[in-house]
Structure 1
Amino acid sequence: MALKLARVVAGLCLAALASTATAQATSNNRVAAKVDWSVFEGDNPNECWGVSAPKETVNTRDGRVVAVRRSEIQLFVTFRSSDAPKGEVSFTGGYPFAPGSTVNMAIGESEFELFTEGEWAWPATPADDAKIVTAMKRGTNAVLTARSARGTQTKDSFSLLGFTAALEDAEKRCSK
């Protein structure tokens, strides 16, 4: 019952965050580049985020590699100058995730579960965000595995080179 309630709460939070995530994906306000990560700064409300695209993407169906069309694939960590939680992790896979599915995020020996809504995925709680950010600071890459609504299994590998510098820059910009 507790897991079901947590998923309902997470789903409501995901819906609220979707509009922010959409704005993040379409911003032209790039203010810095840190190796494989970029830093963006929003206008109103003041938001700052680090973002990266995957270095490698593998799509499979029935155990075979397949070519599929996907829109932007990005991994974010967002900061706001408001009282919102700091360092919110989000991921867009570039396709609608299978309903009720989760995204597995592996960083070194650590694994995390992200809940999905449409084309977006997030950790369930701010405490999970903090654990993921800590793992990302220590890691060299993050691998996100998910399933599309059409049954395609995707595996996106992100470099974490420059992550800590981008994270610190984004947080500093939004602490004004």
Structure 2
Amino acid sequence: MLVRLAVIAAALLASTGTAFAADAKRLGRYGEWESLTYTEGNAKVCYIATTAAKVTGGEKGKNSTFLIVTHRPGSKSNDEVSINATYTFKKDSSVELQVGALKHSLFTKGERAWAADPKTDKAIIATLQRGKEAILHASPAKGSDVAATFPLSGFSDALASADKACNIKR
């Protein structure tokens, strides 16, 4: 369990270039999800994250993929859905996140992908709350196309934990 938290924190640190992951405080583990918080400047940030349980494709040794939801109430930014990877996405590509029959498109930049706007973030979260697993399809800059499967067991409880820690009302 601590190894998983360390992997998530290290991946976030590597992909964002900031020191927040090293200072992250674990709020709890819920199924396959971790709920964490840290301080950015003077503002509290809360997030939930999981690693893909299964990944196929990509460059050998560089295909770890993380699904994250972040609250930054100090910036009035809540429910931001992102993908962090240990590989670079193909330039000008998009990522498809599928939950059941519903598909969501995220834009990419470097090793990260995001929804286009807050309305899409909220739609993705609603889909994640109802699903059993999410499957990501992406094209990395090197290697074959990636398919990553994220279990959604514990997603809603982890999100509730982050909501409570950052005082987010639903």
- TM-score exceeds 0.5: yes
Matched residue, 1:57: 55
Residue 72 of structure 1: CA displacement? Answer: 4.5
Residue 83 of structure 1: CA displacement? Answer: 4.1
Equivalent-residue separation in structure 1 for 2:147 and 2:132 (angstroms): 16
- Cα deviation digits, residues 98-143 of structure 1 (max 9, x gap): 0000001000110000000000000000000000000000000000
Structure 1 vs Structure 2 CA RMSD: 2.2
- After TM superposition, the score normalised by the length of structure 1 is 0.79
Following TM superposition, the consecutive aligned residue runs of length 4 or more in structure 1 with deviations greater than 6 angstroms are: none
Equivalent-residue separation in structure 1 for 2:95 and 2:20 (angstroms): 19
Does the residue aligned with 1:82 lie in a helix, a strand or coil? helix
The correspondence for 2:21, drawn from 17, 21, 26, is: 26
Residue 56 of structure 1: CA displacement? Answer: 0.6
Equivalent-residue separation in structure 2 for 1:72 and 1:80 (angstroms): 25
Matched residue, 1:150: 142
Residue 31 of structure 1: CA displacement? Answer: 1.9
> Does the 8 Å CA contact 1:50/1:166 hold for their aligned counterparts?
yes
Matched residue, 1:42: 38
The correspondence for 1:107, drawn from 93, 96, 99, is: 99
Does the residue aligned with 1:43 lie in a helix, a strand or coil? strand
- After TM superposition, the score normalised by the length of structure 2 is 0.82
Aligned length: 152
The AA in structure 2 aligned to 1:26 is: A
> Does the 8 Å CA contact 2:57/2:63 hold for their aligned counterparts?
no
> Does the 8 Å CA contact 1:98/1:151 hold for their aligned counterparts?
no
Equivalent-residue separation in structure 1 for 2:148 and 2:79 (angstroms): 21
Does the residue aligned with 2:39 lie in a helix, a strand or coil? coil
Equivalent-residue separation in structure 2 for 1:92 and 1:123 (angstroms): 13
Does the residue aligned with 2:164 lie in a helix, a strand or coil? helix
